[in-house]
Amino acid sequence: MFTTLFTPQKLNGSANLGVLILRITLGVLMLTHGYPKFEKMLSGDMSFGNPIFLGEELSLILTVFAELVCSILLILGLLTRPAVFFLAITMAVAAFIIHAGDDIGKQEKALMYLAGYVCLWFTGPGKYSVDERVF
């Protein structure tokens, strides 16, 4: 199981380039959500939503971990599957809990990120990744 979790899938030809573009795009765009939350946390403001009843502070820490740390891992292609797991959980909470009562327009962004993360779960990081070199 450990090997399956970390070993990149062998992709053909341009699929590796496509996965690289998807990884970098999703990672960089998600950083724009995670970094402001990180700055908020550094300033000492730990107020945040509590959508799954873990407490505001822990919810903020977990969200920053996913949106900032896991996004950096995703860009590098390092520990890609664990990173997209945490990112996908964060986006599922955003889409199906935080925006559960909203129209599809409010859920759309989280659902698009979620779809990308699920795709990366199945494909792995591709040839152009740290995972490929390490594992």
* DSSP helix/strand/coil, 135: coil
Euclidean distance between CA atoms 84 and 104, whole angstroms: 23
Could you tell me the residue ranges of all domains in the chain?
Answer: 14-132
Give the confidence band of 2 by pLDDT, cuts at 50, 70, 90: low
The whole-number pLDDT of residue 7 equals 60
Across all residues in the chain, what is the average pLDDT?
Answer: 93
Contacts with 129 (C-beta within 8 Å, 6 or more apart), sequence order: 8, 20, 23, 76, 77, 78, 80
pLDDT score, position 9: 67
pLDDT digits (tens, 9 = 90+) for 67-116: 999 999 999 999 999 999 999 999 999 999 999 999 999 999 999 999 99
pLDDT at 4 over 70: no
Question: In the chain, where does DSSP find H-type helix?
Answer: 2-6, 15-42, 56-64, 71-76, 80-93, 104-123, 130-134
CA distance 70 to 88: 10
Q: Which is higher by pLDDT, 52 or 1?
A: 52
Q: What percent of the chain has pLDDT over 70?
A: 93
Q: Is residue 1 scored above 80 in pLDDT? A: no
Put simply, whether the predicted model's pTM sits higher than 0.85 gets the answer: yes
Nearest CA-CA partner of 111 in 93, 91, 90, 97: 91
Residue 128 above 90 pLDDT?
yes
Q: How far apart are CA 135 and CA 128, in angstroms?
A: 12
* pLDDT score for 99: 96
